[in-house]
Amino acid sequence: MKALAVGAQALSITCVKNKKRDPTRLSIVVRIHKKGPAPGSLSLQDVIGEAAANAGVGPRLYVDGRLPTGQFASVMEYFEGGLPKETFLAESKDLSRQWGGVMATFHSIPTQILAPFDDCFSISDAGVAMISKTFGLSEEVVAERRLGTFPMQMLTFWGCFGHSPATEAKDRALAEITARFITGAPNWVKSDAGGRFVLCHGDPHHKNIMLNAEGNLKLIDFETARVMPACFDLAVPLFVEAAWERAVEGGSLVGLQPTDTPYDHCLEIAREYLTRTVGSVDASLEDLVWDMEVGVVSRMLFILYILKMSELSDEAVEAYYDKLYAAIDILENSHSDKEKRASVAASSVLFYK
C-alpha cells in the first residue's frame, strides 16, 4: 500500500497493489474526498470518469460512496505504469502522438453529459452580469465571446481569493489582463479544431495523467472538467507548473516552466488530434500548434490567480504579470510570424523570487 498524493478535493489517495500478480485480486486506487453527490445522484467526477473509462482513456470506477465518517470514498482502477515524466512530451515523439490521440478521444465525449452541472456547461445570465461588472466589459461582449465556461472559472478564483487595499493595483492589472483575454482569444485561435467547444479535462498536467502497463497514456481526476475551447487542454503538458514555490539554487521558481518540447513533437500532437477529430491533416496543422500557444496563455492566466494570493514577493508576482502582458501582446499582434509565435512560449519561462 502506498500513499500517492492529495488533490483539490482529495484528503488522501492511496494505491493498493497486487504485487504477487494474483489473477483474483486487483490493483486499486482508493481516494478519500471531502464532498460527494446527494443520495441517488452522481458527482461530476463519476459522470466524466465513467465516460472516460468507456472511451478507453480513463480508469474504471469500481465503488463510490459515503463513509460512516461523512467523507466519501472512490475505489478505481490502478495503472501499473505510474505517472509520466514532467517532460514526457519533450522526450518522446510517440507519447506526443499519443497525447494528441487521448485528447481527441476525450474531447469526443458529448458535452450534453454536463447538462446537470450548470456551472460546467454554460455561463448563466447572472454569470454574464458578474463577469461584465468585474472585468469592465459590456454584457453583450461577454455573451458574444465564445470562451465557454473559462471566464466563469476565472471569476470563481477571483471571488475565492478576495480583495483588499493592499492588492488593489494587482486586482486592476489582473482585471485588465483577463478582459483582454476574454475579448481577444476568439480572434487569436486560428484553426477550427482548436476553437471547437468540447468537453475539456480542464487540468491535464502530468500528475493527472498516468501510464498503463503497456505504456499508454490515461487521464485521471476530472473535477475541473468544463466546456471550453479544445486548445486550452492540448497545451497544458507543454509546461511544468510551479504555482507554489520550488526551491532551486539561488532562489525559488514560480509560474510555468517550459518543457522545451520540440516543434516537431508539437506537430505530432496536432497531426494525431486532427486525424482523429476532423479526419484529415491540411494547412490547419501549424495553425493548431499556434492555438496550443493560445492555450498556454490561458494556463498562465489560470496560474496567475493562484499566485495573486500566494506568499511570493510583490516583485515576483509583478514579474509574472509582465510576462503575461508580453505573451498577450504577441497574440494580439502576430498571427503568421513563426519567430514571434515561438516567443510566446519563451515569454513564460520561470523566474527567480
Supply the CATH number for residue 43's domain: 3.30.200
Query: Do 287 and 317 form a contact (C-beta atoms < 8 A)?
Result: no
Shared domain check, 174 and 72: no
Give bridge partners of residue 254 from the DSSP assignment.
351
Range with the poorest average pLDDT among 36-40, 95-99, 211-215, 344-348: 344-348
* Residue 43 confidence (pLDDT) above 90: no
User: pLDDT class for 127, splitting at 50, 70, 90?
Assistant: confident
Task: Identify whether residues 189 and 257 lie together within a single domain.
Answer: yes
Q: What is the pLDDT of residues 107-126, one digit of tens each?
A: 999 999 998 888 888 888 88
Lowest mean pLDDT among 112-126, 184-198, 327-341: 327-341
Number of domains observed in the structure of the chain: 2
| pLDDT over 90 percentage in the chain | 25
Please report where in the chains the cell 499582434 appears, as a residue.
Answer: 333
Residue 226 lies in a domain: yes
DSSP, residue by residue, 214-227:
TS-EEE---TT-EE
- The C-alpha cell of 81 is what? 505504469
Q: Residue 278, CB half-sphere, CA atoms under 13 Å: how many?
A: 18
- Whether residues 39 and 107 fall in one domain: no
CATH at residue 327: 3.90.1200
Give the residue, 207 or 6, on which the prediction is more confident. Answer: 207
Q: Which residue has the higher pLDDT, 315 or 302?
A: 302
Give residues with Cβ within 8 angstroms of 150, minimum separation 6.
Answer: 226, 228, 229, 232, 298
Tell me which of 148 and 102 has the higher pLDDT.
102
- In-domain check, residue 185: yes
Residues 291-314 have a mean pLDDT of 78
Domain that holds residue 34: 2-77
Residues 197 and 343 in one domain: yes
pLDDT at 271: 95
Q: What is the pTM of this model?
A: 0.87
Regarding whether 220 and 251 lie in a shared domain, the answer is yes
